[in-house]
Chain A
């Protein structure tokens, strides 16, 4: 049952960590949610319950707790399908996270289908996880990697895509649905429809999008879709790769081992059905079950409510920050085009120094290149500070951050 509005007060009660103090009794203000989110009691309880009451291997056990574990594990697959409107559960592969999902595609699809002279297109605002696997692949194959540029507003320059598509050599276009640095929400439908016209496959890195936006995978129409559980209240070490069935059927296995086979003989083997062909070895059972609890939690809150809450916070923060002297904010100011991720620099103080000083006030923000060095080069900076919100953040958190920046001014005599 979806709620009509978020009760932040109630939400916060589910997160024990928000009660803790750091550095001489300062309450923790956690503003690094694009990195990883905190976990509610419901998720932690699901993990404890599994280990205390029905810890067993799955799919090959015929006793009662094995059946229970298998059922709980597979139930998460159904929850993912429902949460993202994925019609076929066998298209959902559990992986360690977005990084492994993308590497799986590069290995199991890319090595088979990418040939010499082919072009793979990515964008300048990608995370390293959506750049490096493709660099490795194109080097191996003698193919080429091209970039869709980012304009001064932090949005993709889609004319670049047209130019690449016109060569007729593009085999894959891969992009993040939301930038982990600028928060820009990509016009995915436009990119995907351009690609479909030319029969070009598309991969969506949804690590930043699925936790914060309502996403409909079927409507999106891409071929590959990857995201992580730990950025959406779930445990670390669990993520999802979705691949359209007809594409998945052309792919060779990623890892060989137990559970991914049908029959193994001395010199050959045949593969299990989808999705198990791609889930070799004992999977991350406990964390898949915990991830299911995270999806339940978000479903109950309602993703539209999550988005609305974050838009309000983003608007408030942008307004507050614009009033601060010496601040540079990156990306668009149009909150309908961006998520709750704000990168900024403060005077010429290095982000690591800013982050350490505000940490002294109990405030956790990210500083550095955010695994997006290609974008840092485009922005002509070595690093930025980044704040990113989630369901438990409040305007008070933002006020405390703004307040703590005056500490930086004080120390640096700005």
Chain B
């Protein structure tokens, strides 16, 4: 699997992930982690006129301490996070909301992980899961009745 998994693009994106950092007073901020490997992501977005004006991600511990220098997320996780943030930056919320996992994976040629690696797929899709839950919380707050968002929540909960 390593031959196909660790392609140049994945290693490059993983080594130099884009949109790393923090946003002050973000409109959306959501955190999640993978218990098996310790990958952690906080995804932050600022929203202007239904557009994702800016997006940044970083790692931190559960207590909120920054742990950037402690250990990085794995390459697969970082490459996917980098690509995902590039895909959604400047796009409207509907685009992010409707983004399918297959679309993200195909950007890096990783669709086969869905079938072949129940373990590494979690690394690849953590950022998308954080995005979907973040969007859900943001949108649900604006609505009196959030039942129209049940699909989004369902999708986030069963992404992998």
Contacts and interface: CB of A to CB of B under 8 A. Distances in A.
7 contacts: A350-B72, A351-B37, A356-B1, A356-B2, A358-B2, A360-B1, A382-B71
A351 B72 CA distance: 10
A358 B6 CA distance: 12
Contact of A352 (B15, B37, B67): B37
Nearest to A345: B71
Nearest to A381: B71
B74 interface: yes
A369 interface: yes
Interface string A353-389: 1001111110000011100000010001111000000
Nearest to B14: A353
Contacts of B123: 352
A219 interface: no
B48 interface: no
A368 B70 contact: no
Given A353-B6, A360-B2, A407-B2, A381 B76 contact: no
A352 B121 CA distance: 12
A414 B6 CA distance: 14
B148 interface: no
B11 A350 contact: no
Given A353-B74, A360-B1, A412-B15, 14 more contacts: A348-B71, A348-B72, A350-B72, A350-B73, A350-B75, A351-B37, A352-B74, A353-B6, A353-B76, A357-B2, A359-B1, A369-B38, A383-B37, A383-B71
Interface of A: 23, 348-353, 356-361, 367-369, 376, 380-383, 407, 411-413
Given A356-B1, A360-B1, A368 B120 contact: no
A382 B123 CA distance: 14
Interface of B: 1-3, 5-6, 11, 14-15, 36-38, 67, 70-76, 120, 123
A333 B76 CA distance: 33
A231 B37 CA distance: 22
Listed from nearest, the 8 A-B pairs whose CB atoms lie closest are A360-B2, A382-B71, A350-B74, A382-B38, A352-B74, A357-B2, A353-B75, A411-B6
A28 to B, nearest CB: 15
A368 B37 contact: yes
B42 to A, nearest CB: 15
Nearest to B33: A382
Contacts of B75: 349-350, 353
Contacts of B37: 350-352, 367-369, 382-383
Contacts of A360: 1-3, 5
Given A367-B37, A412-B15, A23 B74 contact: no
A93 B125 CA distance: 43
Contacts of A411: 2, 6, 11
B6 A357 contact: yes
